[in-house]
Amino acid sequence: MSNVSVTRVSSARIPTDYGEFRLVYYNNTQDEKDHLAFCMGEDLTGDDVLVRVHSECLTGDVFGSRRCDCGEQLDHALQLIAQEGRGVLVYLRQEGRGIGLLEKIHAYNLQDEGHDTVDANLMLGHGADERSYELAARILEELGVKSVRLITNNPDKITALEADGIKVNDRVALPADVHPENSHYLLTKARRMNHMLNVPGQIVPTADSELVEPQSAD
């Protein structure tokens, strides 16, 4: 049984373009970071709650970087929760797939030299993905969530949450907006990290989960 725990410290009403959410701030026994839950709906207890577990990406979430799809995923997840009128976005402060902002910037420079996002992390001495979802599981438990419909393209996130005691009853896919600046990144996520991406004209999963190269426009 995990020794990691979270404590709700404070919360506040946050009106947004999508409707009114409540931002909940947590302390925890694992690190000193500010992990958050962005909640919509009066009662989040029970089964099949719509949930997004989102790892911080300052460049994408705040500055709108097109090197990744993180900001667009965050935006779309909030739209889905607002459409349902009930759900949770857990915001974990684990920048750069867990390596931190400075190391992510170093990784970006390696990517500009021609390395993909996985190799760039490995070249810096990190794992391809160092994130943990244990705190997300504890936050969902604190909110009273029993099982979730998880907004994700990442099968490892489903496996990790279930290993940490959160039952995932369904997966809700996130469409990927493809730009010239992120197409190679998305292809790498699908090929090397097994993300379930379906981007017309870019990444096409086949029935046996192999990938078909995108066809030339001419």
Q: Rounded CA gap, 162 and 91, in Å?
A: 18
Asked about 191 being catalytic, the answer comes back as no
Catalytic residue of the set 97, 131, 138, 164: 131
Tokens 């039952």 found at: 167
Radius of gyration in angstroms for the set of CA atoms belonging to the chain, rounded to a whole number: 17
Structure tokens at 100: 């931190």
* Amino acid at residue number 207: A
Calculate helix-pair angle for 155-163, 134-143, nearest 10 degrees.
60
Helix intervals (H) in 23-127: 70-84, 101-112, 117-123
Cα torsion through 178, 183, 185, 189, rounded to 10: 70
150, β-bridge pairs: 51, 171
CA pair distance 122, 170, nearest whole angstrom? 32
- Please pick, among 129, 138, 156, 218, the residue that the annotation labels catalytic: 129
Question: Can 131 be counted among the known catalytic residues?
Answer: yes
Residues involved in catalysis:
129, 131
